[in-house]
Structure 1
Amino acid sequence: MPFGRRVRRIFWRSVLAVAVFMVAVVLLFRVINPPTTYYMWSESRRLGGVDQEWVRLEDIAPVMARAAVAAEDANFCMHWGFDVAAIRLAIAQGSNRGASTIDQQTVKNVFLWHGRTYIRKAFEAGITPIVEIIWDKRRILEVYLNVAEFDEGVFGVEAAARHYFGVSAGALSARQASQLAAVLPSPKTRSASRPTAFLGKRAAQIRSGAATILADGRANCFQS
C-alpha cells in the first residue's frame, strides 16, 4: 500500500476513534456529573484546592438560571448550540464578545481547556453539536452552572452562593442571582458581594433581561 494512502488511513481512523470517544464521554456525562474539569484541576493544583459542590438544576433558584441565561446567552432556548445572529454581529463589530453560547462555554469548561487557540475552537465547534444532540437544554444549563468559575477557586453556583452571600443556590434572591451572573465574564476581577458601580448597573440589566425571557418564553426550555 502506498505510504500516502497508509497515512490517510491512519489519520481518518484516528479521527473516527476520537469522535467515538467523545460521543461516549458526552453520553456518560448526560447521566453522571463530571467529577472535575481540566481548568478546575489546574486551578486546584495552583491554589491548593478549590470550592465546588454539585447541585441539581431543580435545587437552584429559578431566577439564578434565568439570570445566567440573560447574561450570557439570551437566545439559549432558540439555537442549536451556535447563535448565528450573535456570531454575525460579532464579526461585523470585529469582536467575538457575546458570540459564545452557553453550549459552547459548557463544552470548553468540561471537555477542553481555556485559551483562544484555533485548535481549541475547532474542537469546540465539533463537540458542541454532539452535546446539543445528546443532552437537553436543562442538562446543559445544569452542568454550566456547576462548573462555571465565580471567583478565584470558587466553581459552581452552590459554592458561589455560599461564598458571596452565605446562602444556598436555592435561596438566592433576584438581586443576588443577577450579581453572580454579572461576574461570569471576568470572575477573577469582579466581586458579586462588593459590586462596583459598573457591576451594579450590569446586574440591574441582567435582572431586567431575566424578567424579559421569562415573559416572552425564552426560558421555557429549562424552566420546570
Structure 2
Amino acid sequence: MNGAARKRRLRGWWWKLPLLFAVFSVLQVLALRFVDPPFSAFMAARWVDAALAGHPGFRIAHDWRDLRAMSPNLPLALVAAEDQNFARHHGFDFDAIEKAQAHNEKMRARAEKRGTPVKRIRGASTISQQTAKNLFLWQGVGPTRWLRKGLEVWYTALIEALWPKRRILEMYANFAEFGDGIYGAQAASRSFFGKDASRLSASEAARLAAVLPSPKRYSAARPGPYVQRRAAAIQRQMAGIGGTGYLRALD
C-alpha cells in the first residue's frame, strides 16, 4: 500500500472514532448500572501521582458499600450539602449555575477593587456531574480541562438517562474523596470515626459532607471552626429537605 492510499484509509476512519466512542461509553455506563466498579478514574490518577512523586507504597483506602448498607444519614448529608435539587434535575441545575455565576462575578469585582486574590468562588456542579467526573474522567488543566468538561457533560447525560437516581447517589457516596486517598463512605467512616458506615450518626455524616470539595484542606476527624459551622448548617438542611424520608422519594 503506497503512502497516498494509506492516508486515504486513515482519513476514512476519523469519522468513525466519535461513533465508536459513543457506543463504547454507552455500553460502559450501562454495564455500571449493574456492576460495582472496584476503583474510579480519580483513584487511579491519585495512585499514579503518588508513585511519580516517589511514594510507591502509597495506599488508597476504599471499600464498596451498597447504599442500603450505609446509614441513610450520609447520602442525605451529601444531597443537603452538594445538590438539594438532585431529585428534580436531569443532571444539570441551571438555576444554581446562574446563581453561582452572579456570585462569582461579585467576588471578582470585589477582589479587583481591593487588589486582592479572588476568594469564595462558588461551583454549581450537581452530584450527577461530580459522579461522572470522579468515576470516568480526570481533573485536567489548560486545554485538557475543557476536553474533560465536554466529556463530563456527555457522561452526565448518560448516567442520568441510564441509571436511577439511587444508583447515581450510591456511586457518588462510594467514590467521593473524604480525605487524602480516602474514598467512599466505608473507608471514611473507618478512617475518621472507627466504625462501619451503617452506624454513622447525623452529625458524623454532616462532618464528612462538610469537608467536600476540599478534603485535603479540611478534616472530618479534627474539624476546625469552618467545618463545624458548615456541618451544623448541613444538619439543618438535612431536616429541611425532609430527613431520611427524602431518600424514599428516589425509589
TM-score (norm 2): 0.81
Tell me the distance in 1 between the aligned counterparts of 2:247 and 2:66: 17
Segments of 5+ residues of structure 1 without an aligned counterpart are none
**Is 1:33 paired with 2:36?**
yes
TM-score (norm 1): 0.91
Provide closer, same or farther for how the CA distance between residues 51 and 217 of structure 1 changes in structure 2, counting only shifts above 3 A: closer
Match of 1:54 in 2: 64
Tell me the distance in 2 between the aligned counterparts of 1:111 and 1:58: 24
- Give the partner amino acid of 2:79: V
The Cα offsets for residues 104-132 of structure 1, whole Å up to 9 and x where unpaired, read as 00000011011361110000011111110
- Give the partner amino acid of 1:61: S
Match of 1:185 in 2: 213
Tell me the distance in 2 between the aligned counterparts of 1:76 and 1:9: 42
**Is 1:87 paired with 2:97?**
yes
RMSD: 2.3
Aligned pairs for 1:144-163 (under 5 A) are 144-163=172-191
Tell me the distance in 1 between the aligned counterparts of 2:73 and 2:66: 14
> 1:8 offset after TM fit, Å?
7.7
Tell me the distance in 2 between the aligned counterparts of 1:8 and 1:62: 53
Tell me the distance in 2 between the aligned counterparts of 1:174 and 1:17: 45
- Give the partner amino acid of 2:124: A
> 1:97 offset after TM fit, Å?
2.5
Aligned pairs for 1:202-213 (under 5 A) are 202-213=230-241
The Cα offsets for residues 56-80 of structure 1, whole Å up to 9 and x where unpaired, read as 0001111111101100111100100
Q: 1:113 aligns with which of 134, 138, 141?
A: 138
Match of 2:81 in 1: 71
Q: Is the partner of 1:150 in helix, strand or coil?
A: strand
Q: 2:46 aligns with which of 43, 46, 56?
A: 43
Provide closer, same or farther for how the CA distance between residues 216 and 152 of structure 1 changes in structure 2, counting only shifts above 3 A: closer
Q: 2:126 aligns with which of 81, 101, 107?
A: 101
The Cα offsets for residues 81-110 of structure 1, whole Å up to 9 and x where unpaired, read as 000101111222236723100000000001
> 1:214 offset after TM fit, Å?
1.5
Check the 8 A contact 1:57/1:142 in 2, yes or no.
yes
Tell me the distance in 2 between the aligned counterparts of 1:138 and 1:110: 16
Tell me the distance in 2 between the aligned counterparts of 1:41 and 1:215: 34
Match of 2:19 in 1: 16
Segments of 5+ residues of structure 2 without an aligned counterpart are 1-7, 106-120
Check the 8 A contact 2:207/2:228 in 1, yes or no.
yes
Q: Is the partner of 1:79 in helix, strand or coil?
A: coil
- Give the partner amino acid of 2:176: A
Instruction: Pick which of 175-184 and 91-100 moved more.
Output: 91-100
- Give the partner amino acid of 1:36: F
Q: Is the partner of 1:186 in helix, strand or coil?
A: coil
Aligned length: 221
Q: Is the partner of 1:30 in helix, strand or coil?
A: coil
Tell me the distance in 2 between the aligned counterparts of 1:44 and 1:214: 38
The Cα offsets for residues 41-63 of structure 1, whole Å up to 9 and x where unpaired, read as 13234152211000000011111
> 1:216 offset after TM fit, Å?
11
Q: 2:229 aligns with which of 191, 197, 201?
A: 201
Check the 8 A contact 1:77/1:219 in 2, yes or no.
no
Match of 1:143 in 2: 171
Larger Rg: 2
